[in-house]
Amino acid sequence: MMTVLTEKVVLITGALSDIGRATAQAFAKVGYSVVLNHRSKADEAAQFANELVHDFGAPQAIGVQADIRIRSEVMGMFEQIYVRMGRLDVLVNNAGINRDNAFLEMTEEEWETVTNTVLKGTFMCSQEFARCYTGTDGSIINFGATTAITGRKNGANYCPARAGVLTLTKCLALELAPRIRVNTITPGRIDTEEVRLRYHTDDPEIRKDFERDVPLKRMGEAADVASMIIYLVESGKYITGQNMIVDGGLMMR
């Protein structure tokens, strides 16, 4: 049976990452019901959903399994959301993956895994959201990367995929206006588990070097990214098609 909620509902893909979790907590605090997309961690999603309700004030929170690279699973996810929640107001396309390799050694599998998750997944989830949404104040938040602008070694799959998201955002903002606003968040050096593992920033000396070029002289927190998302959804009603860079000023250099 469909449950029709008066509260707004947000779907966050890749919701069990550090930024996904911080974003879910931020939406819960401002009164949203939260849908946590995951690919294969049902128990972890269920536990986190319980925390969102009991510790952060979400009216409801549920986990929904789906591989966003597969159209049928994306469609099934949206069907579940509307059956169980009755509505959906905001989509946060947070899911992503890295499969780094030198350009000359990169395999088609490494290319396709990353581009299908980052770019195709964002495309399909956004398309299903826009097809299902019937309101007049919807919001899609996509994720870019600073390396989508600068490039980097061993990222010939990831960097172009994120660059594609930047342009996709502009296309969707034009086509879906005025009923749905579409923006990109581009995080800088954010203190997440992935960054700590990739760059070894648990080492104090490495972390100091990592922060030296940042004008605000610190790494960002996942909550800094979540705060910008909440601003765009709740307050930035005249903002669409933009890339909001949350990096402590690093990209000025």
| Predicted pLDDT of residue 1 | 37
| Predicted pLDDT of residue 253 | 65
Inter-residue contact 233 to 182 (CB < 8 Å): no
- In tens, the pLDDT along 190-227 reads 999 989 998 899 999 999 998 999 999 999 999 999 99
- In tens, the pLDDT along 112-166 reads 999 999 999 999 999 999 999 999 999 999 999 999 999 999 999 999 999 999 9
Question: Which residues are paired to 143 by β-bridges?
Answer: 185
pTM score of the predicted model: 0.95
**Chain CA centroid to CA 195, Å:** 16
Residue 103 is classified by DSSP as: G
- The 8 Å CB, 24+ separation contacts for 134-137 are 135/87, 135/89, 135/179, 136/178, 136/179, 137/89, 137/179, 137/237
Known active-site residue 158 = yes
Q: Which helix (DSSP H) or strand (DSSP E) does residue 140 occupy?
A: strand 138-143
The pLDDT confidence band at residue 2, using thresholds 50, 70 and 90, is very low
**Among residues 133, 158, 231, 238, which one is catalytic?**
158
The CATH fold assigned to 9-191+221-244 is: Rossmann fold (3.40.50)
d(CA 224, CA 201): 18
Residue 160 is encoded by which pair of tokens? 């172009």
Considering the chain, what percentage of its residues have pLDDT values greater than 70? Answer: 97
